[in-house]
Amino acid sequence: MLWACILLPQLALDGVLRRHPDPAAPLALVTGPAQRRVLRAVNASAKAAGLRAGQSLGAAQALCSRFTAVAHDPAEDVRWHRFLAAWAYRYSSLVSHEMPSALLLEVEASFKLFGPWPRFEAQLREDLKSLGFRHRITLAPNPYAARALANQHDGLAILTDGPLHNALAQLPVERSGLPAEVASSLRRMGLSKLGQVVALPRVALGRRVGKDALAHLDRLTGSLPTPLRYYQPPDSFSSRIDLNYDVESSQALLFPLRRLTADLAAYLAGRDGGVERFTLVLEHERCADTEVVVGLLAPERDSAMLFELARGRLEQERVPAPVRGVQLLARELPPFVPAGRDLFDARPQQAVPWEQLRERLRARLGDESVQGLGVRADHRPERAWQAEHSRVAPPADLPRPGWLLPHPVPLRDHQLRILAGPERIETGWWDGDLRRDYYLLQTSQGQRAWAYRAAGDPPRLTSHHPASSAADGFMLHGWFS
Amino acid sequence: MAVVSSLESLLESRQVWRGRPAPRAPSSQPTGFPDLDDALPEGGWPETGLTELLLPADGVGELRLLWPTLARLSQADGMIALIAPPYLPYAPAWMNAGIRLQRLQIVRADPRDALWATEQCLRSAACSAVLCWPRQVDDRALRRLQVAAEAGQCLGFALRPIKAAANPSPAALRIAVDADPARLRILKCRGGNPPPQAIPFAADGCRPPSRQGGVVRAFPPSRVHKLYALRARTH
């Protein structure tokens, strides 16, 4: 087995920065009690301004007047750590997030799928870069050694035990993962490299440094196998962004929304699932949260598509108060089957499949905006169609108009000509009785109308103007077009 | 003295190349009306692009003109989208016209969103034909639709009132439908001059082409007479 260690030295800061609208502005992570605030981490531009981790907040404010101070939240660290474990789960089934700010992946089994280590590593780095996390990656035959090497190296890959022992021997004791007091006492003994420590007689060393440190050394060399606790992906997704300021326009929500949907898509890809329904919770200061439900007709997991749909729904939404936080919840994650596509099918640019187009239209125009058309076995024109497709035998080939008015209206025309009729439609005593004589008429404009009169009420026709007096009492119900 | 040589000898010496009109390839989008096909430079609808139908009123034969094309397209892949139609498409009649209803999608939208929806459908390449009824649309919006139809390789039909014929339009083909007498006037066609004379488009009764043979059947006149006779007796 080969273990990759992804060390995340700035996990807390990166977690804050990736949600910040302007990551280039000076920013510092602050921790400690209210009386003694200390900078925990600073970003590049803050560092350029002279801020350092460990400074007190007062000193930092004296150095640089305008930097954003964000309180450090340990719960956030845990959440980001878990999120990255979910991301790593797509590359390996054995992922451990047991060690703080580090991920351990068993990668040898995944080489067949993701290529040899250099390519695999490049892929990991690319993903982490796009997710916005700084990292160091090392590879070693056992997880503890990989973790210890990541303290000193970046990009080091050791495949066998021989070179591993050499590399470990070169490791300074402070960076070997030994407890700080053990490392400093070893240093005082004149032992600076791990190789010198391991070379000492084991029993004497054990008496000096204690059992735990000895076990740690054994784990590094791989002679004491210790199982890790592995990550198990949860069955639902939830992510939250605190905005820290009042947002009043939907435009300003797009940035956090893009992050949230990208996170959701990364998570879904990891568990090879899709999402059919998710909720955006817009948190307000004083009133109840607004919930925007985004429903799809079929499971999807493409991040651009999820973003676009959520955006479409969000733009329609009216909120009672400024938004302070956004949360994305997805509880049901059904399996996802990607649509099969012809490999050599030449498609125009910007082509989207119908399913995606339908979701896009529904997101902006409303759930009921896209309808199919179907036939129902009924003689009444109002009930002979329905808004979804049905498998009914084709109706009898009667003269029926292509356009139907949703509600019949009186037909007003001074020059109607009867072309055919009447055809009586009389049915439906059980639910909405209907007795009508339908005529095919020609209007003065040359349109062909389908209009009806009450049954048994023939139009009055005189010999001189057969049409003019027939105009009364016709209800227009359709156009033969 | 100038040498006079006869035309025949010149042509026989093969020094003059004579162009010959190439036989026109059959269009991939025939309209289903041979008279109209003959009048159009491509022998059918423009293969991708926007076609404008200008109507004096609703219900003057626009569906009769489009149904054969839609019936043909509905047999293939791709959806037929009706964006905000002015009336309900009456399913039995459309089915009898030979259109597979599962390929038909109706998009309800208010006039403001209808143009957006039309452009999305045209551009997506998921639709084989898109019908729209743009109200108050300007030259820029129509150009957008035309470009979108070309990008999505899709037949776009914009049904507009005849008043719009006075304004220029970027559509690839513009046909005015006259109700009385029933005829089609080609106002503009890309790739050729519009024919000067109108194309007869007689309403052969109220029925769409029948499903069985594609023959347009009229109302049997005998039946009409019979119905009149029946009513005369009841009086």
Residues 353-382 (A) with a CB less than 8 A from some CB of B: 353-354, 356-358, 360-361, 364-366, 368-376, 381
- Return d(Cα A456, Cα A447) in angstroms, integer: 25
CB half-sphere exposure, A422, CA atoms < 13 A = 20
Q: Which residue of A has its CA nearest to B88?
A: A404
pLDDT band of B2, cuts 50, 70, 90:
low
pLDDT tens digits for B104-147? 999 999 888 899 999 989 988 888 999 999 888 888 889 989 99
**Tokens 């099918």 belong to which residue?**
A345
Local confidence pLDDT in tens for the 481 residues of chain A: 899 999 998 888 888 888 787 878 888 888 888 888 888 888 888 888 888 888 888 888 888 878 888 888 888 888 889 889 988 988 988 999 888 889 999 998 999 899 899 999 999 999 999 888 999 999 999 899 999 999 888 888 888 888 888 888 898 988 888 888 889 988 898 988 888 888 888 888 888 888 888 898 888 888 888 888 898 877 888 888 888 788 888 888 888 899 899 988 888 887 788 888 889 898 888 888 888 888 877 788 888 888 988 888 888 888 888 888 888 998 888 887 776 666 666 666 667 788 888 888 888 888 888 888 888 888 888 888 888 877 777 667 778 888 999 888 888 877 788 888 788 888 878 877 788 888 888 888 888 888 888 877 777 654 444 444 445 678 889 988 8
User: Given B88, B206, B224, which is nearest A480 (Cβ)?
Assistant: B206
Do the Cβ atoms of A421 and B86 come within 8 Å? no
Q: Which of B88, B127, B178, B216 to mutate to test the interface with A (most CBs of A within 10 A)?
A: B88
Verify whether the Cβ–Cβ distance A375 to B101 is below 8 Å: yes
Q: For residue A422, what are its two tokens?
A: 């009447």
Nearest to B124 among A352, A376, A420 (CB): A352
Q: Give chain A positions within 8 Å (CB) of B59.
A: 401, 403, 447-449, 479-481
User: In residues, how long is chain A?
Assistant: 481
Sequence-ordered strand ranges (E) for A237-303: 237-247, 275-284, 290-300
Closest residue, chain B, to A351 (C-alpha) = B124
pLDDT of residue B214: 36
State residue B20's pLDDT score: 67
Residue A125: per-residue pLDDT: 93
Which residue of chain A has the CA closest to B223?
Answer: A420
User: N- to C-terminal Cα distance for chain B?
Assistant: 95
Which of B90, B107, B108 is nearest residue A402 as measured by Cβ atoms?
B90
Verify whether the Cβ–Cβ distance B90 to A478 is below 8 Å: yes
pLDDT digits (tens, 9 = 90+) for A399-416: 888 899 988 888 887 778
Is some CB atom of chain B closer than 8 A to the CB atom of A402?
yes
Interface test with A, best of B124, B144, B227 (most A CBs within 10 A): B124
Burial (0-12, 13-18, 19+ Cβ within 10 Å), A8:
buried
- Position A352 scores a pLDDT of 79
* DSSP tag of A231: P
For chain A, say whether B147 makes contact (Cβ under 8 Å): no
Provide the edge-to-edge strand list for the sheet that holds A403-410: A417-427, A434-442, A448-454, A475-480, A403-410, B88-89
User: Do the chains contact at B93 and A402, CB–CB below 8 Å?
Assistant: yes
Q: Does B112 touch chain A (CB under 8 A)?
A: no
Question: Which B residues, 15 through 74, put their C-beta within 8 Å of a C-beta on chain A?
Answer: 56-64, 67
Superfamily of domain A237-332: DNA polymerase, Y-family, little finger domain (3.30.1490.100)
Pairing relation of β-strands A370-371 and B104-107?
Answer: antiparallel
B229 or B91, which is more confident: B91
Cβ pair B125:A352 closer than 8 A: yes
B81/A167 Cα distance (integer angstroms): 66
How many whole angstroms separate alpha carbon B66 and alpha carbon B201? 13
Give the number of other CB atoms < 10 A from CB of residue A454: 10
Point out the residue among B58, B223, B234 whose CB comes nearest to the CB of A479: B58
Buried b / exposed e along A235-264 (16+ C-beta atoms within 10 A) = eebbbbbbbeeebeebebbeebbbbbbbbb
Interface check for B113 against chain A (CB to CB < 8 A): the answer is yes
* Chain A residues closer than 8 Å to B120 by CB: 357, 360-361
Nearest to A150 by CA among A101, A92, A116: A101
Q: How far is B199 from chain A (nearest CA, A)?
A: 17
Position B230 pLDDT exceeds 50:
no
Residue B133 contacts A, CB cutoff 8 Å? no
pLDDT of residue B32: 86
Q: Where in chain A do CATH 3.30.1490.100 domains reside?
A: 237-332
User: B50-200 sits in which CATH class?
Assistant: alpha beta
A387 to chain B: nearest residue by CA? B106
Is A445's CB within 8 Å of B56's CB?
A: yes
The residue among B74, B120, B206 with the most chain A CBs within 10 A of its CB, best to mutate, is B206
The neighbouring-strand residues paired with A242 are A325
Q: What is the DSSP string of B21-77?
A: PPPPPPPSS--S-HHHHHHSTTSSS-SSEEEEEEESSSSSSHHHHHHHHHHHHHTSS
Shortest CB distance from A447 goes to which of B60, B67, B109? B60
Question: Which of A405, A372, A364, A401 minimizes the C-alpha distance to A389?
Answer: A372
pTM, 2 dp: 0.58
Which B residues in the span 194-223 are in contact with A, Cβ-Cβ below 8 Å? 203, 205-208, 210-211, 219, 223
In this complex, the residue of B62, B107, B227 whose CB is nearest that of residue A420 is: B227
The letter for the amino acid at A320 is P
Domain map (residue ranges) of chain B: 50-200
Strands of chain B, DSSP E: 49-55, 79-83, 88-89, 104-107, 127-132, 155-161, 173-178, 183-189, 199-200
- Backbone φ, ψ for residue B56 (5° rounding): -70, -30
Taking the CA of residue B152 and the nearest CA in chain A, the distance in Å comes to 6
Closest CA to A18 of A84, A97, A102: A84
Structural element, H or E, at residue A441: strand A434-442
Chain A residue numbers touching B109 (CB-CB < 8 A): 365, 369
The partner residue sitting opposite B104, judged by closest CB among A348, A373, A446, is: A373
Question: Residues of B numbered 164-183 whose beta carbons fall under 8 angstroms of chain A's beta carbons: which are they?
Answer: 178-180, 182
